[in-house]
Structure formats: structure tokens, C-alpha cells
Homo-oligomer: A and B are copies of this chain.
Amino acid sequence: MSAAVDTPPGQSRYGALAGALRSRIVGGDWPPGHALPAEQQLAAEHGVALGTMRRALELLAEQGLVERVHGRGTFVKQGLAGAPMLRFFRFGGSEGEAPRSRILARDVLAPPADVAQALAAPGPALRLKRLRSLGGQPVLYEESWLPLPLFQPLADGDTAGWGDLLYPLFAARCGVHVHRAVDTIGFVPLPAAAARALKLASGHPGARVQRRAHDLAGRCVECRTSLGDAHAFQYTVSIT
């Protein structure tokens, strides 16, 4: 297809190559989990030295768009498997146990303004309310907003077979792969509904995690608010 790369204006050659590959990836030329052509072949196709193409691929790997496996190949990254939401909390005793999830409600309605803006989708959206438990104890109360043409498959049908994780469900039913997420941590008194579900007093100190999840192309595909007992909250961050 592409012969030699055009003149890179303010960019390095490998930077331009990475951009070109990026476009083909988000465009769906190589779907998540699939292998890219070999370095040799890509280098030849683009009329560039092997080392230069390697630099480009390493750049994409740093950006988390691609995964390189020695001896096997270069693969488009799968979406985030599980939602590692409980990494923010430390609940006594139930270490290593698989968290369970139960759908409390599913509605289609107009989202609040900030959510609507983030989703960049006008009109109604799908709202899910979930209760997540560890060792039988409810620990997290979650509310998710999902843009609607995209998540229509989740608006109908039974929720029984959904399992405990949302992201694999998104991938299987809607072809949505969550690639990046931004969590904002805050502190709020628990609202009544959340407190009731968590078996705590209304107004009990709550830790709130607001998540914006994005797909490969950078579009916001989920707005989530998670609430848990503030006293169980613990998170470690390393700075340099």
C-alpha cells in the first residue's frame, strides 16, 4: 500500500510511522487481540530501516496501544479485562475472593448535563445500578451511564447471564473495548440509597470514585460513580 513516508514536518520518522499505524489500529484494520504484520514486513512496506520501524512499534507499546511478545509477535491490546475498582479499598479477611455483582436497576433516561457532555451523545442513555459484594458482604454501590446507540444490546433482554464484570460484557455484546480509564477520587457523605444498599447509616463517610472510561479511539464510553465505606479506602501512589 504505502510506499515511503512523506516528509515528517516537525516530527521524527518513527513518530510519523507510529501515528500511521495508530490510525490503522483505531480504524479497525487490526482488531483488538490480533497480530500486526512482522517488523520486517512493516519496515519493507513503509520503505524504512528495521530499527526505525522498531522504534515506532516501541512507541505504540509505551502508549499501551500494542503489546509486544518475544517470539510471537506484536498484538493490538485487548481492552481492560476486569474493572480493578477494588484496588482502592482494603476489606478485611476477604482477600483473593472473587467479587460478585448484582444489577439493582436498569433504565433508559436523560443523563445529567455533565454526563451528557462527557459521553458526547445527545438524548437518553442507559443507566445501570449495581451492588458489588465480597464474601457475601456488600462493599460497593455503583451507578453507570452508557451512551445509547452503542449499548443498545444491553438495554434489552435478561440481565441474568451478565456475569460479574462489565467490561468483558461490553466487548462481547457491544464490541466496545475499554482501553483507558480516568478515576477521580473524592470524599462524600453516603447518600441514602447507597448507604441502605451497603448496610451503613445514611450520611456515613463515603469514598467516591468517578470513572470516565474510553475506547481505543479515545471516545468516552462510560461514566461511572462508585461509592464505598470511606474507612475501608486505601490507595498507594508512587511519585518520582
Contacts and interface: CB of A to CB of B under 8 A. Distances in A.
Nearest to A235: B185
Nearest to A239: B181
A234 B184 contact: yes
A121 to B, nearest CB: 22
Interface string A28-40: 0000000000000
A64 B183 CA distance: 25
Nearest to A211: B239
Given A180-B239, A183-B239, A187-B205, A230 B233 contact: no
- Per assembly, the copies of the chain total 2
Nearest to A84: B239
Contacts of A184: 234-236
A179 B84 CA distance: 29
Interface of A: 64, 80, 84, 179-188, 205, 207, 230-231, 233-240
23 contacts: A80-B239, A179-B240, A180-B238, A181-B238, A181-B240, A182-B236, A182-B237, A182-B238, A182-B239, A183-B238, A183-B239, A184-B234, A184-B235, A185-B185, A185-B234, A185-B236, A185-B237, A186-B234, A186-B235, A187-B187, A187-B231, A205-B205, A230-B230
